[in-house]
Amino acid sequence: MIKSLLLFLVVLTPIFSTVYAQDVKSYAVFTGKGKKSSYTKMLNTVSESNVILFGELHDNSIAHWLQLVLAQDLTEMYGGKLAFGSEMFETHQAKFLQQYLIDGNAKAFTDSTKLWSNFATDYKPVVDFAKDNKMLYFAANVPRKYASLVFKKGTEALDSLPASEKALLCPLPFPFDSTLSQYKELIKMGLEMHASGINFAKAQAIKDATMAWNICERLKTYSTILHFNGSYHSDFHQGIEWYIHQYNSTASVATISTVTQSQLKTLDEEFLGKADFIIVVDERMTKTME
């Protein structure tokens, strides 16, 4: 009887091991065509481009960790030829950001400018990496009050701004293509809010255009720009990428997008073509902000 019980337990143990000790993976990398890839392959491919647009989910810890890792690895490749920029800093914050990169006075920095609520956990690591390595990290986004002005009154409202304020924006008037799928979706959303659909889309577009303009300005000095932005700003090779090609037709651009799925074996069809590389994160991953 005892021998039979022992034999039963020996046979059963591998079954329990299979069921309860499966590998837990937090993310997977796919190409835009849905082919399984890896971080290393993504790094080696995107490093060949002048601009790398890392589209994130703002509350996703895996995306923020990979941004830091990518920043570190690209620095090993390019050193002082690499610069960082992001949506999370607006052009009116540039002087405060640059001062922090010089003196590292965290209190003066946080007291002098409004930072995103998850700055300390999600964005500060890359900013500090740039500071510690004496690298450029630039504010790329349009001040939100001007995007809000476009939404409420249209792009014409920007014409009366003083030159000092226009300097914070991309050159005016900025081009706009309402046939791009991302903007078509925003036009529809604007109409559903009983607002001007075209103004809603242009409020997004001026952010994209200003970020692209600031990226292209840095390309005059740096060979490679790693830029962090919400995925929507660069998904489907639109938004920022579209504007980069308007301002610098010869610049090469690589895109990364972040999505969540219930499984990591295959890329869901809806995400095909979103970017050159797509980081798929387990949807159970904890979030870093509400």
Question: 50: left (phi > 0), else alpha (psi -120 to 50), else beta?
Answer: alpha
CA 152 to chain centre: 26
Phi and psi at residue 229, to the nearest 5° = -155, 160
- Given a contact cutoff of 8 angstroms between Cβ atoms, the answer to whether 42 and 216 are in contact is no
**The predicted structure's pLDDT at residue 194:** 87
**For residue 19, what are its two tokens?**
């069921």
Residue 14: predicted pLDDT: 56
Residue-level pLDDT at 8? 47
Please give the backbone phi and psi of residue 194, each rounded to the nearest 5 degrees, phi first: 60, 35
The number of angstroms, rounded, from the C-alpha of 156 to the middle of its chain's C-alpha atoms is 29
The two structure tokens encoding residue 145: 């009050």
Q: What contacts 8, CB < 8 A, 6 or more positions away?
A: none
Give residue limits of the domains in the chain.
26-282
Blockwise average pLDDT, block size 10, the chain, 290 residues: 51 52 86 98 98 97 98 96 98 97 94 94 97 98 98 97 98 97 96 93 98 98 98 98 98 98 97 98 89
User: Among 253, 210, 252, 207, which residue's Cα sits nearest to residue 230?
Assistant: 207
Query: What is the total residue count of the chain?
Result: 290
**Separation between Cα atoms, residue 235 and residue 256, nearest integer Å:** 8
CATH number assigned to the domain with residue range 26-282, chosen from the 4 options 3.40.50.11550, 3.40.50.450, 3.40.30.10, 3.40.630.30: 3.40.50.11550
Closest CA to 137 of 75, 85, 72: 85
CA separation for the pair 235, 53 (Å, rounded): 9
At 135, the amino acid letter reads M
Which residues on adjacent β-strands are paired with residue 254?
A: 52
Instruction: Name the pTM for this structure.
Output: 0.92
User: Contact at 8 Å (CB) between 115 and 122?
Assistant: no
CA dihedral angle for residue 215, residue 216, residue 217, residue 222, rounded to 10 degrees: 80
Preceding amide of 173 cis, omega within 30: yes
What is the spatial distance between Cα 159 and Cα 156, in angstroms, rounded to a whole number?
6
